[in-house]
Amino acid sequence: MSNETIKLKKENPDPAQKDSQPTPNFIRNIITEDLKNNKNDGKVITRFPPEPNGFLHIGHAKSICLNFGLAAEFGGQCNLRFDDTNPTKEEDQYVRAIKEDVRWLGFDWQDRELYASDYFDRLYEFAVQLIKAGKAYVEDLTADEIRAYRGTLTEPGKESPYRNRPVDENLDLFDRMRTGEFPDGSRVLRAKIDMTSGNINMRDPVLYRILHASHHRTGDKWCIYPMYDFAHGQSDSIEGVTHSICTLEFEDHRPLYNWLLENLKIHHPQQIEFARLNLNYTVTSKRKLLQLVEAKLVNGWDDPRMPTISGLRRRGFTPQSIRNFCELIGVAKRDSMVDIAMLEHCVREDLNQHAPRVMAVLRPLKVVITNYPEDQVEEMEAVNNPEDPAAGKRKVPFSKVLYIEQNDFREDPPRKFFRLGPGREVRLRYAYYITCENVVKDEKTGEVVELHCTYDPATKGGWSPDGRKVKGTLHWVSADHALEAEVRLYDRLFSIANPGGDKETDFKEHLNPNSLETLTNCRVEPGLANAEAGSRIQFERQGYFCVDPDSSGKKLVFNRTVSLRDSWAKIEKAQKVD
């Protein structure tokens, strides 16, 4: 009896394996041009700036691949900078999760784990500098009044009565804001720019607010916090960032980004915007994903149905497949919706090369080989991966009682059903030809519970000496040797393509009620006994699966990463024909 375990690799064998060749995009072109002109002394410094208020999703992966990828490509560096300016929403668990995800994707920030909160002192000094230059003032209007004064897209704003406070008074009030004299929301610091600007972001934007809240890193040191727009550009500048790459929604903020750097007279990175990734049948917004987690509509941030990096990892995606996907979708200036079939295609392609094949029966139907000797067990030789000869072969036990897949048998087979039926002959993969002689049914329900078949001993290995052909090849496991397993089948998280698109309905109403199907009576090859969590395999004829962290020696648990059928390949083929 073979106790041989299947050798499973958790990651691709060669981490240095080259990703697909970079395709040109407008950001690469800008950087190439800058280098040609020796701008920034020939340096390229980028950053990935997550706010630690949730787990990263596939959209962030695009930004990570872009920022780290470009830095690597041009011999520069990419910083991991946490934009942690909102203490009420940020948590340390998110910082840890983000670091794990970026590292898992294959990127290294070395010693540059940076935090906007580390710059709070300098940001405060920058604010004081603006006040002294007459370019910022303390505002006493309430939030509602500020909004009313701001005007609209078609109407200019009005100047606040506090706008022309003397510098000394502003300095005094800002200092007292810092020392905690005033309650939340009672005052803010604003930039003094232009209340009539066509760009609302330039109508004296708020730079600092009062927030008596404890921060995950600075504790109670501060009770005023910089706004995102004030922290972000100045943090870029402090770090010497050369190309500050962000998503399109920040395009309208660029004039403010530039204004602040110019008026502070500090190093001026170039902000470049690109279109964010939108993926159909899911949502790529931390805010929405948080709602799903909090309402327990999914099993946490790393639920394999989630588009989070941790969810994709648990589902069985490889870092390489996600990097390939990010390269394939490219970088554009216009928002668009990417087909999730493309992401599935990328993981299929990668796993096809690296995942060992095994046989697993998800919905077992008992087959008794009536003419097979009672206690005999044969070791059948099976190929581990036809795409990779180095993966070698293994032995799979064969015996008198087997399981096959329920849907590989039809009592009344329709046309083109080439699998098993009464009186039909099929091949059992790596084993023998068998013929179905008798169907045993449950007396009460009429359900097929067992098949009695005969085998042809001359067909060992799956080939007949007389050259007769069988049309179907089925996978199977030996009943006595197979291991019981739970298999979780995942489908799309939402049942409509654009769940966030309809503003009238709550996106949560479009959750797919059948996104998870749990099968508890599956049988897998004995070689999977010690499969470690995270190991990825192909169940022949079914799809790619990985071992879930819930799995144990007592109870194996597998997640279906993706089925074998590739709808993206079909779409692509059809497009090429057009």
Residues that bind ligand ATP (CB under 6 A): 49-51, 59-60, 62-63, 246-247, 276-277, 284-287
386 DSSP β-pair partners = none
What does the CA dihedral 173, 174, 178, 180 come to, rounded to 10 degrees? 20
C-alpha–C-alpha distance, residues 28 and 67, integer Å: 11
| Least CB distance to ligand ATP at residue 248 (A) | 9
The least distance separating ligand ATP from the CB of residue 136, rounded to whole angstroms, comes to 24
210 forms beta bridges with 224
Of the pair 30, 516, the CB lying nearest ligand ATP is at 30
Shortest separation between residue 279's beta carbon and ligand ATP, angstroms: 8
Q: Note whether 233 and 260 are within 8 A (CB).
A: yes
Of 41, 38, 108, 96, nearest to 71 (Cα)? 108
Residue whose CB is less far from ligand ATP, 335 or 509: 335
Q: What share of the chain is helix, strand, coil (3-state, %, to 5)?
A: 30, 25, 45
CB nearer ligand ATP, residue 233 or residue 421? 233
DSSP-assigned letters across all residues of 453-466: EEEEGGGTTT--TT
Closest CA to 452 of 408, 414, 400, 410: 400
CB 269 within 8 A of CB 245: no
Beta carbon of residue 249, minimum distance to ligand ATP (angstroms, whole number): 8
CA distances from 578 to 571, 573, 575 (A): 11, 9, 5
**Least distance CB 369 / ligand ATP (angstroms):** 54
Residue 287 to residue 75: CA distance in whole angstroms:
35
Query: Which residue out of 165, 286, 424, 536 is catalytically annotated?
Result: 286
E strand or H helix at 484: strand 483-490
Nearest by Cα to 522 from 559, 561, 565: 559
User: With respect to ligand ATP, which residue has the nearer C-beta, 319 or 364?
Assistant: 319
Looking at residue 70, its amino acid is: L
Alpha-carbon distances, residue 460 vs 157, 361, 431, 433, 457 (angstroms): 85, 21, 5, 8, 6
- Residue 51 annotated in active site: yes
> Closest CB to ligand ATP among 236 and 408?
236
CB atoms within 10 A of CB 296: 8
Contact 210, 183 (CB under 8 A): yes
Which residue among the candidates 51, 387, 437, 450 is catalytic per the annotation? 51
Tell me which of 39, 99, 276, 541 is the catalytic residue.
276
* CB 17 to ligand ATP: min, Å: 25
Q: Is 313 a catalytic residue?
A: no
**SS3 of 434, please?**
strand
Give the three-state DSSP class for 373: coil
Residue 239 is a catalytic residue: no
> Taking a C-beta distance cutoff of 8 angstroms, is the pair 504, 292 a contact?
no
Minimum distance from residue 201 beta carbon to ligand ATP (Å): 16
Nearer to ligand ATP, 50 or 205 (CB): 50
CB 7: neighbour CB atoms within 10 A?
A: 12
Question: Around Cβ 22, how many Cβ atoms within 10 Å?
Answer: 11
CB of 102 to ligand ATP, least distance (A): 11
Q: Quick one: which H or E segment has residue 177?
A: helix 167-179
Question: Residue 81: which of 93, 70, 67 has the closest Cα?
Answer: 67
For ligand ATP, the closer of residues 69 and 356 by Cβ is 69
State whether the Cα torsion 107-109-114-116 is positive or negative: negative
Residue nearest to ligand ATP (CB): 59
* Residue nearer to ligand ATP on the CB measure, 50 or 499: 50
Q: CB nearer to ligand ATP: give 104 or 417.
A: 104
Shortest separation between residue 277's beta carbon and ligand ATP, angstroms: 4
The residues annotated as belonging to the active site are 51, 276, 286
